[in-house]
Amino acid sequence: MDKIKNYINGELVEPISKAYIDNYDPSRGKVYSLIPDSDERDVELAVTAAKAAFKMWSNTPKEQRARILQRIGYLIEDNLDKLALIESVDNGKPLHLAKLVDIPRAAANFNFYATGILHYAANTHSMEDTAINYTLRQPVGVAGCISPWNLPLYLFTWKIAPALASGCTVVAKPSEVTPMTAYLLSEICMTAGLPKGVLNIVHGLGPKVGNAIVSNKDVPLISFTGGTKTGAHIASIAAPMFKKLSLELGGKNPNIIFADCDYEKMLATTMHSSFSNQGQICLCGSRILVERSIYEKFKTDFVARTKQLTVGPPLNADTKVGAVVSKSHMEKILSYVELAQQEGGKVLCGGKRKIIDGDFKEGYYLEPTIIEGLPYNCRTNQEEIFGPVVTIMPFDKEEEVLMMANSTMYGLASTVWTQDITKAHRVANEIHAGIVWINCWLLRDLRTPFGGVKSSGVGREGGFEAFDFFTEPKNVCIKLK
């Protein structure tokens, strides 16, 4: 069975413990490879390597850093088919989605930040003939980057690329649930000529490896994407150590549909925003709020289209909904469907595990599920489920839908469907979320800030704000007389 390795100080190495964790193929529910069960000793080695490389890397001209990072981006593009296949097996997502979204975006992360750093500038402030201030932006040091399983290489590189472009060195931990593409990234970095120690990847469990990165005194900055509970735990360790912290956390995003929308476009996009990646995208619209005059029509059409979605093995060309990521996650999602029924909800379609015959019968497949009849403030409508499960609710007035949309502890993303431009801007202005998509979903311009409000996180990644995060401003004031 394949054993993956840590990437420390430019080499692929075994964990010190020599212990390994099972890695499951969710489409078959079977172990197919082994991941290092690393601990704080491996993290210490990685931090030592990253610290030793920092002076050299932060003093490497940015043009040269950019060249190496772009080489990594191009190598990801050259290996698109292989990476997509591995990500699909590791995660359970349809292969076409990995090919279309995940891997191209991982390459784009490197290409965008490699070229972006060349245009990143700091300010000067003149005090007429008294003094001149200039601001230096200096890389913070060793960055700790921790990422989740839902968009494995996409989110891993979304942190690593701007950190490296800024001149930081990195100790990174991918999710133990989907480690494979991060392992291939280590090989790509070696081929691209990334100097040793600049990027270190330590595989293993969150409470062991993640915790050791967060609490290491030589890691002054943490960029984390994952669940809100884990984020709170990380903040409780990092805050008293005064670390720079970016937390990209959970969501319970509203998809607001007004009667005056472009109905066909809305319906087609709502299928994606509900069930793409088995609903395991932090930006999926899991609460669908529909103006009452079109509610019944929407319900009929949405249920009919959802029933047509092919649930199946991720590598099949016609699969629209693959396997969810793990057995425990599948059970969590099913427990929410049960909760929804206890809370008075009616399952309009789906709601069950789907068994696929043959080799895939142990796989973690769920039927895409639509639930109606729940109040906006029940647990099903307030807590993140993170699976192919959405609720639909009617509304009558704009103020009412805004109240419902803003009622959760989360504030990551939202979608608004209307042809009335004034209403669109008015509603966007009132929604408590880091992103509002109007008449679209998941359209991302990498120059724009990304992140959530409330329990969806603190800090912003994306665009040049990522460079602000991975660098520290230092003002130098020179008196002229």
CA separation, residue 261 to residues 271, 273, 298, 401 (Å) = 15, 16, 12, 15
* Annotated active-site residue in 145, 282, 284, 461: 282
* Per-position x/- string for 224-263, each x denoting binding to ligand NAD as judged by CB under 6 A, each - no binding: -xxx--x--xx-------------xxxx------------
Minimum Å gap between C-beta 333 and ligand NAD is: 12
Judged by CB under 6 A, the number of residues near ligand NAD is 31
Nearest CB to ligand NAD, comparing residues 292 and 444: 444
Q: What is the DSSP letter of 276?
A: G
Q: Which one of 87, 248, 367, 372 is the catalytic residue?
A: 248
Our measurement of the distance from residue 142's CA atom to the centroid of its chain's CA atoms, rounded to an integer in Å, reads: 21
User: Token pair of 439, please?
Assistant: 């008449």
**Residue 92-131 contact track with ligand NAD, rule CB under 6 A, x = bound:** ----------------------------------------
Closer CB to ligand NAD, 398 or 465, in the complex = 465
**282 an active-site residue?**
yes
Residue by residue, DSSP assigns 11-51 as EEE--TT--EEEEEETTTTEEEEEEE---HHHHHHHHHHHH
The distance of closest approach from Cβ of residue 232 to ligand NAD in the complex, given in angstroms and rounded to an integer, is 10
Tokens of 344: 């008075």
Q: Residue type for 12, please? A: L
Q: Which two tokens stand for residue 11?
A: 């080499």
- Region binding ligand NAD by CB under 6 A among candidate stretches 14-22, 56-64, 180-188, 204-212: 204-212
In 74-194, DSSP assigns E strands to: 124-127, 131-139, 142-146, 169-173
First CA to last CA across the chain, in angstroms? Answer: 72
Q: Rounded to whole angstroms, how far apart are CA atoms 167 and 159? A: 13
Whole-number Å distance between alpha carbons of 267 and 446: 26
Clarify whether 383 is annotated catalytic. no
Interactions with ligand NAD, residue window 360-389 (CB under 6 A):
384, 386
CB of 400 to ligand NAD, least distance (A): 26
Residues 433-462, one symbol each (x = binds ligand NAD by CB under 6 A, - = not), give -------------------x---xx-----
Q: Which of residues 156-185 bind ligand NAD (CB under 6 A)?
A: 173, 175-176
Residue 66 beta carbon to ligand NAD: minimum distance, rounded to whole angstroms: 25
Nearer to ligand NAD, 46 or 266 (CB): 46
CA dist 171 and 179 (Å) reads: 15
Shortest distance (Å) from residue 302 CB to ligand NAD: 23
State which residue, 75 or 323, has the beta carbon closest to ligand NAD.
323
Q: Is 2 helix (H, G, I), strand (E, B) or coil?
A: strand
DSSP state string for 422-469: HHHHHHHHH--SSEEEES-SS---TTS-B--EETTEES-BSHHHHHHH
Q: Pattern 410-429, binding to ligand NAD, x per CB under 6 A?
A: --x-----------------
In this chain, which of 210, 254, 285, 459 binds ligand NAD, going by CB under 6 A?
210
CA atoms within 13 A on the CB side of 21: 20
Q: What is d(CA 275, CA 280) in angstroms, rounded to the nearest whole number?
A: 8
Which residues in 278-307 contact ligand NAD (CB under 6 A)?
A: 282
Q: Where in the sequence numbering do the catalytic residues fall?
A: 248, 282
* Contacting residues toward ligand NAD, per CB under 6 A: 146-150, 155, 173, 175-176, 206-207, 210-211, 214, 225-227, 230, 233-234, 248-251, 282, 384, 386, 412, 452, 456-457
